[in-house]
Amino acid sequence: MSRAFLVVMDSIGIGGAPDADAFFNGEVPDTGANTLGHIIEACEAGRADDERSGPLNIPTLTELGVLEVMALANGGMAPTTLSGAATELSKGKDTPSGHWELAGVPVPWDWHYFPNTDPAFPPDIVQAVCDAAGTDGILGNCHASGTQIIARHGAEHIRSGWPICYTSADSVFQIAAHEEHFGLDRLLDLCATIAPRLHQMRVGRVIARPFVGDVGGFSRTTNRKDYAITPPAPILSNWVQDAGRRVYGVGKVGDIFSMQGFDEVRKGADAALMGHLGDLVDSAEDGSLTFANFVEFDSLYGHRRDVAGYARHLEWFDTQIGALRARLRPGDLLVITADHGNDPTWVGTDHTRERVPVLVDGYDGPPLGLIGFVDVADLVARHLGVSPK
């Protein structure tokens, strides 16, 4: 019996979204954004020579057809590769929208976004957080970078005990708190308590952002937890479970889907996640699905507009996934895709609306060409012999 490995390179867009002009970073539309294409250009021009040098070196992804499908996504001719490029229907360029649709369920509503004002949150939400946290106020209450707002308010957070609350252009409500001074369990309980109220507003995720350190330097930990709205219909992982198969999550995918359809989730930084993925390549049962997300492309390099760091991470991933390919069993399917773009050469710090690659190994059907995000779920389901519910 075959197995399937669905791997999301978080934010590796390839340009060409037909509706990019309707999505913005500040006042600039995403028209022309191309995460992978612009990284390649920067490397070739010598603008990404920080702890690496020269043209972007991604032989594994190239062999799987990523350059051909990027050309296709941007109006080029049909590639010779079996791989394809996927277009999103959901009206968001965020993690839940992309992942839900890749798993077979486009988002059926408009997400709620907080205004880029100071303050950003309505008084009733602020009061709800204070009541749940047992504090007289919150810090932040604005759009912000996670690392920057911790640097700005970390010392006052330790002194006052007030949680640091912030948002972004995504439909999120994020709470940062010190693991020792505030307490990790207290932070997680706070997020779990207020999440249902925010979900009623169609805020996609409440995210716990724990950190450690002192005024000399704070750093976020890997104990992040996302409290996401439950998908409105069964998703790919449910389909596989309902067929009596086992489903593994690697990274934050379990949180994205509110643990719907996952038997086991393994977490950590991307290097640890690659180890978990390798373990599952070696040991996962016949008929199983492994669904993985590598978030550091997005969180460490895309949002921070770090082109060289993004290029380094792509080259690391390419080497690692190449080694794993050699360990796949006959009949296994590997699908490497993305959930949205995050062009590190673009203005602002937000995601970018782009098509994404759908790179396949172990697939023997017709060339994929231009497909929809939902077709990824169908591809995996057909390979495993399960039906949408």
Q: Which pLDDT belongs to residue 212?
A: 98
Q: Which pLDDT belongs to residue 1?
A: 73
Q: Which pLDDT belongs to residue 164?
A: 98
Say if residues 20 and 30 touch (Cβ distance below 8 Å).
yes
Say if residues 163 and 175 touch (Cβ distance below 8 Å).
yes
> Which parts of the chain are beta strand (E)?
4-9, 24-25, 28-29, 84-87, 139-143, 164-167, 172-178, 205-214, 217-220, 225-228, 247-250, 264-266, 289-294, 333-337, 356-361, 369-372
Please name which of 196, 215, 184 lies closest in space to residue 176, comparing C-alpha atoms. 184
Tokens read off for 164: 């640091």
Q: CA–CA separation, 350 vs 333, rounded Å?
A: 32
Q: Which pLDDT belongs to residue 284?
A: 98
Establish whether the linkage from the previous residue to 210 is cis, with ω within 30° of 0: no
pLDDT tens-digit map of 142-173: 999 999 999 999 999 999 999 999 999 899 99
Q: Which pLDDT belongs to residue 77?
A: 86
Q: Which pLDDT belongs to residue 79?
A: 86
Q: Which pLDDT belongs to residue 198?
A: 98
pLDDT tens-digit map of 332-345: 999 999 999 999 99
Greatest Cα pair distance in the chain: 62
Confidence band, pLDDT 50/70/90 cuts, at residue 287: very high
Confidence band, pLDDT 50/70/90 cuts, at residue 263: very high
